[in-house]
Amino acid sequence: MMQTKRVYEIYDTKDGYRVLVDRLWPRGMSKEKAHVDIWLKEIAPSDTLRNLFHHEGMKWAVFEEKYKEELEDKKELLLELKKWEKQHSCITLLYGAKDTNQNQAIVLLHLLQTL
């Protein structure tokens, strides 16, 4: 099972293997409080794409399409995540964004579900 969760939400042992998928460490979050098993910043959107979406007002559909294009070059990381899913009862993709419906973890989750 894979799911997404905001890194600022309370840690739960049911989260399983916790993977931070942000390029930047979440502001104000200590490593102890985050309970991150691995920080996979390489799979996060590029700085350019992240800035266009968060600071320049890029539309969600455009962000989603461009991020999927970036992920085409990261097949090894996607396959690694799928492998971890088989090794753990649950994988939680952690993100820092306030928007729980429009963030890179959602795109990543949907893409991984199709592999």
Quick: pLDDT tens for 10-62: 999 999 999 999 999 999 999 999 999 999 999 999 999 998 997 887 899 99
C-alpha pair distances (Å), 35 with each of 27, 31, 44, 112: 15, 6, 19, 22
Range(s) of the domain holding residue 93: 2-114
The confidence band for 87, taking pLDDT boundaries of 50, 70 and 90, is very high
pLDDT recorded at residue 54: 79
CA distance 61 to 32: 35
- Does pLDDT of 115 surpass 90? no
Is residue 76 scored above 90 in pLDDT? yes
Which residues lie across from 91 on neighbouring strands?
Answer: 2, 17
Average pLDDT score over residue span 98-113? 95
Order the strands of the 2-6 sheet from edge to edge: 2-6, 91-95, 17-20, 38-39
Q: Is 57 left (phi over 0), alpha (psi -120 to 50) or beta?
A: left
Query: How many domains does the chain fold into?
Result: 1
Alpha-carbon distance 7 to 35, whole Å? Answer: 9
Q: What is the pTM of this model?
A: 0.94
